[in-house]
Structure 1
Amino acid sequence: MKVNEKNLCAFASSATPVDREGYLDMRGDVGKSYQKRWFMLKGNLLFYFDKKGDKEPVGVVILEGCTIELTEEEDAYSFKIVFHCEGGRTYYLCTNSQASMEAWMKALACASYDYMKLMVADLQRQLEEAEAEEAAEAASALAAPVEPPGVRAPPRGQRHNPFNKLNEGDAKTVPGSRHHKENHRPESMARKKVSFREIHSAFGRRVLADRNETRAKINKLRQDEAKRAQPLIQL
C-alpha cells in the first residue's frame, strides 16, 4: 500500500481527536530489546514517536487485517499486533500494568474499519427491530376494541353472567312482565304502616308552633301601623 508521508505527518500533528495515547515499550520481529515510544491512536492509524511532543512520527501502523493477541511472555504485560497476510509483520508492545494492557488491546481491536462496519451494521439491525416492534404495537393498539367508559371486560377465557348477583326470588322476575310484582322487595325495604295519630303527634306540634309565630308577627305589624296613623300632639 502506497502511503503519502506528508499527509500522514500532517494528520498526526493535526487537531483530530485522539482515541488513546501514552508510552509503550515496542520491539519488532528480529530484535529482542524493547524501546520506549510515545504512541498515539487516531482512528485506525497508530502513530509512534520518539518522545511526547514530537511533530513527526517515527512510524505508523495501519490497523487493518490484523489481530491483537497476548504474547507468550507470561511475566510481562505484553501483547502483539499480528498481520496475517503474506509477508506481514508482528509488533510487540508492553505496558506497565494489567489495566493499561487491557485498555490498549481493546482500543486497538476496535479501531479497524472492518470492526466499525460490523458495529454500524449491528446498530442498523437493532434500529430496524425496534422500529418494527413499535409499528406492531401501534397496529395492535389501533385494532384493539375500545371499551365504553366504566365497563370492565371479563377476564380472558371467562364469560360474564349478568344474573350471577340476582337473588333467588329475583332470578325469574323481569320488570314489566306478568311475573313481576311491585311489592316484591326484601323485608328490610318494606314500607312501615304509620297511624294518623302518630303522624299528628309528629308534625302537628311543628305546624302549631309555626302558626303561632306567624300570628304574632301579624299582630305586631298591625300595632306599628296604628301608631303611625295617630296625629301628632302639639304641646
Structure 2
Amino acid sequence: MALKINEKVLSGIASSTSPVDREGWLNKKESSKGFVRRWFVLKGNLLFYFEKKDDREPAGVIILVGCRVELDDDDKLFTFKIVFHGMQDRAYVLGAESQDSMELWMKALACAGFDYMKLMVADLQRQIDELEESTPKSSLNDAPKAPPREQRYNPFNRVQDAGMSKQTTAAGTEAQNSSHKDITFHELHLMFGKQILQDREEWIRKKKQETDLEKPLIQF
C-alpha cells in the first residue's frame, strides 16, 4: 500500500538517523508523467521516495505488507514491480539503472516484506524443533550439577579482617570454624559486640591516662 506523507510520525522516521537497508535512485512510473527519477530509501518494511536526494520531507512511502516483488515486462529499462493483491490490486513499477542494481533492489525489497519475515521466523522455529528432537535426552542429564548442600557455605559467614585486634581475630576464627553452619546476624552481634565494648573501654582508659599526664604538676 502507498500513502502520501502527511503524518509527522512517518516523516520523522524518514528523516531520522535510523539504519538504512538500501538507498539509491530509481525510476518510478507515474500515470501522468511516465517514469520520473526519485531517490528511494528503504528502512525496514517502509520504502520512502523523495523528489531530491537532500529533501527532508519524502514525497511518499510504500508499506511493504501483503505484496510481492516481480519482474516487469519491459526488460530494456531494468524494471520490476511491487504487486499488492487484495480488494484493490495495485502495482508500483520501478526501474533501475542496471541489471545488478535491479537484482539488489528486488532482493532487498523481498526480504523487507512482512510475509518474508514470517516465513523466516517459521523456518527458524522448525529448525529449533528438529534440533530438540535430535538431541538425546540423556545429554540433558550430563549438565553440571550443583554441589551437595553440606559442601557449600555462605561466604558472608567468614570473617577475615587483618586489622582486628587479637581478641577480635580469635572471634573471627571461631566464626570460620562454624562457617559450615548458618550463622544469624544476632549470633554475630553477640560474638563481636562484647569484644567491641571491651576495646572501647580500653581506649577510653588510655585516653584518660594521657590526659592526666598532660595536667601540670603544680596547680595554682
- Tell me whether the two structures share a fold, i.e. TM-score over 0.5: yes
Q: Are the structure 2 counterparts of residues 78 and 137 from structure 1 closer, same or farther at C-alpha, using a change threshold of 3 Å?
A: farther
Which residue type is aligned with residue 122 of structure 2?
A
TM-score, normalised with respect to structure 1 = 0.54
Q: Mind listing any 5+ residue stretches in structure 2 that lack a counterpart? A: 143-220
- 1:75 alignment partner in structure 2: 76
2:41 maps to 40
Q: Is the 8 A contact 2:19 2:43 kept in 1?
A: yes
SS in 1 for 2:108: helix
3-state SS of paired residue (1:110): helix
Deviation at 1:55, TM superposition (A): 0.9
Unaligned runs of 5+ residues in structure 1 are 142-235
> 1:137: how far off?
7.4
Q: Which moved more, 1:98-107 or 1:85-94?
A: 85-94
Is the radius of gyration larger for structure 1 or structure 2? 1
CA-CA distance at 1:52 after TM superposition: 1.2
SS in 1 for 2:38: strand
Instruction: Quote the Cα distance in structure 2 between the aligned partners of 1:53 and 1:31.
Output: 25
Which residue in the other structure is 1:135 paired with? 136
Residue equivalent to 1:66: 67
Deviation at 1:5, TM superposition (A): 1.2
Q: Where do 1:211-230 residues align within 5 Å?
A: none
How many positions carry a matched residue from both structures?
140
List per-residue Cα deviations over 1:38-66 (Å, max 9, x = no partner): 00011111000011121110000011111
CA deviation vs aligned residue, 1:133-179 (integer Å, no higher than 9, x gap)? 2235738x9xxxxxxxxxxxxxxxxxxxxxxxxxxxxxxxxxxxxxx
Q: What is the DSSP-based 3-state SS (H/G/I as helix, E as strand, rest coil) of the residue aligned with 2:136?
A: helix
- Relative to structure 1, the CA distance from residue 108 to residue 135 in structure 2 (aligned partners, 3 Å threshold; closer, same or farther) is same
User: Residues 8-47 of structure 1: matches in 2 within 5 Å?
Assistant: 8-28=10-30, 30-31=31-32, 33-47=34-48
2-side partners of 1:8 and 1:18: how far apart? 15
Post-superposition offset of 1:110:
1.3
Q: TM-score, normalization: structure 2? A: 0.58
Alignment of 1:44-59 (within 5 A): 44-59=45-60
1:124 Cα deviation after fit: 1.4
Give the secondary-structure state (helix, strand or coil) at the position aligned to 2:135.
helix
Q: 1:128 to 1:77 in 2, by over 3 A?
A: same
The CA RMSD over aligned residues, in Å, is: 2.4
- CA gap of 1:24–1:133, structure 2 versus 1, over 3 A, is same
Cα deviation digits, residues 10-43 of structure 1 (max 9, x gap): 0111121111111101113x34621110000111
* More RCO (CA 8 Å, sep 6+): 2
Moved beyond 4 Å, runs of 4+:
1-4
Residue 90 of structure 1 aligns with an amino acid whose one-letter code is: A
User: Aligned partners of 1:60 and 1:40: how far apart in 2?
Assistant: 9
Judging by fraction of residues, say which structure has more helix: 2
